[in-house]
């Protein structure tokens, strides 16, 4: 793509897209151009539709991947090439909403106990104890830990939003032990292999996979499962869903409300209408 790739990369930066999202968009756009081996300036709506059908029919890509391609091509044509008419009628694919596997409290303890490295255990404890995304946990800085107010300052989360979350005393004790033993140089709380750089999400994912195997967990556990567990366990403990929304940094309450569908305690507290028949409560049914 050359010149166009550079323009698209610059546009993504100016729009404030996260580095991981920018990388995905550029990759999808490059694959589109490689499919035709022509400049996207020479391609139109039918070319976009033909490429997307190729992804679905011949390559069998998942709905989430299909949606990422649509988003990338919409950005390429509408923003970078200033040809929004090319993608104006390209439909968004429906992505099935699957409920996540939720770890129990005992399973979280087993998982954390299976991590030998104190640094890695502290990072996973931070993710679960504060409900952080993997990018947020990896890039935490020493100055983000406020032990006086017992809060963590999460900087530039999703869509560039800052927020504050609680700082668990148990987590603070572990972070202090991690600091005394490693005494990391630079500003990052969890430094990576290269000086001055934070630990990478890929390195953390590898640690997590090994810990899941060592703990003997059979559920599908990704880093995000710790964030799911944070939200679900708070809900089961009786925390207000609006508070959980703010802690997670969700823009919409609907995103947070999905945890009511996986909370066993929340479901168990809900009374079946069958049990209400023949009682005064059934009057609400008419």
Catalytic residue ranges: 133, 158, 224, 227, 250, 259
Task: Count Cβ neighbours within 10 Å for each residue of 37-60 and write b for 16 or more, e otherwise.
Answer: eeebeebeeebbeebbeebeeeee
Give 118's Cβ-side CA count (13 Å radius): 14
- Report helix, strand or coil for 188: strand
Cα(30)–Cα(40) distance, integer angstroms: 10
User: CA 225 to CA 106: how far, in whole Å?
Assistant: 14
Dist. CA 181–CA 241, nearest whole Å:
38
Q: Which residues are CB-neighbours of 39 under 8 A, at least 6 positions away?
A: 1, 4, 33
- Would you give the DSSP letter of residue 146? E
Residue 201 and residue 185: Cα distance in Å, rounded? 19
**Which residues, 6 or more positions from 124, have their beta carbon under 8 angstroms from its beta carbon?**
111, 112, 115, 204, 207, 208, 211, 226
The 151-154 sheet, strands edge to edge: 145-146, 151-154, 163-166
Q: Compute the distance between CA of residue 123 and CA of residue 179 in angstroms, rounded to an integer.
A: 12
């Amino acid at each position: 793509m050359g010149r166009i790739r550079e323009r698209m990369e610059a546009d993504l930066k100016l729009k404030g897209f996260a580095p991981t999202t920018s990388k995905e968009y550029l990759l999808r756009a490059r694959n589109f151009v490689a499919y035709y081996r022509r400049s996207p300036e020479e391609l139109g709506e039918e070319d976009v539709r033909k490429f997307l059908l190729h992804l679905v029919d011949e390559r069998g890509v998942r709905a989430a991947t299909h949606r990422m391609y649509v988003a990338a091509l919409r950005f390429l044509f509408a923003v970078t090439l200033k040809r929004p008419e090319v993608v104006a009628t390209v439909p968004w694919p429906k992505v099935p909403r699957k409920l996540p596997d939720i770890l129990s409290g005992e399973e979280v303890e087993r998982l954390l106990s299976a991590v030998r490295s104190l640094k890695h255990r502290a990072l996973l404890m931070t993710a679960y104890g504060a409900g952080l995304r993997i990018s947020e946990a990896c890039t935490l800085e020493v100055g983000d830990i406020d032990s006086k107010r017992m809060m963590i300052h999460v900087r530039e989360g999703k869509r560039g939003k800052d927020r504050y979350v609680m700082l668990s005393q148990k987590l603070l004790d572990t972070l202090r032990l991690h600091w005394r033993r490693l005494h990391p140089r630079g500003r990052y709380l969890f430094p990576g292999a290269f000086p001055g750089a934070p630990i990478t999400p890929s390195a953390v994912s590898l640690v997590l996979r090994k810990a899941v195997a060592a703990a003997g967990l059979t559920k599908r556990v990704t880093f995000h499962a710790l964030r799911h567990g944070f939200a679900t366990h708070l809900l089961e403990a009786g925390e207000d869903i609006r508070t959980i929304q703010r802690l997670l940094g969700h823009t919409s309450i609907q995103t947070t409300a999905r945890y009511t569908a996986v909370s066993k305690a929340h479901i168990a507290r809900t009374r079946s209408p069958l049990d209400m028949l023949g009682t005064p409560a059934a009057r609400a049914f008419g």
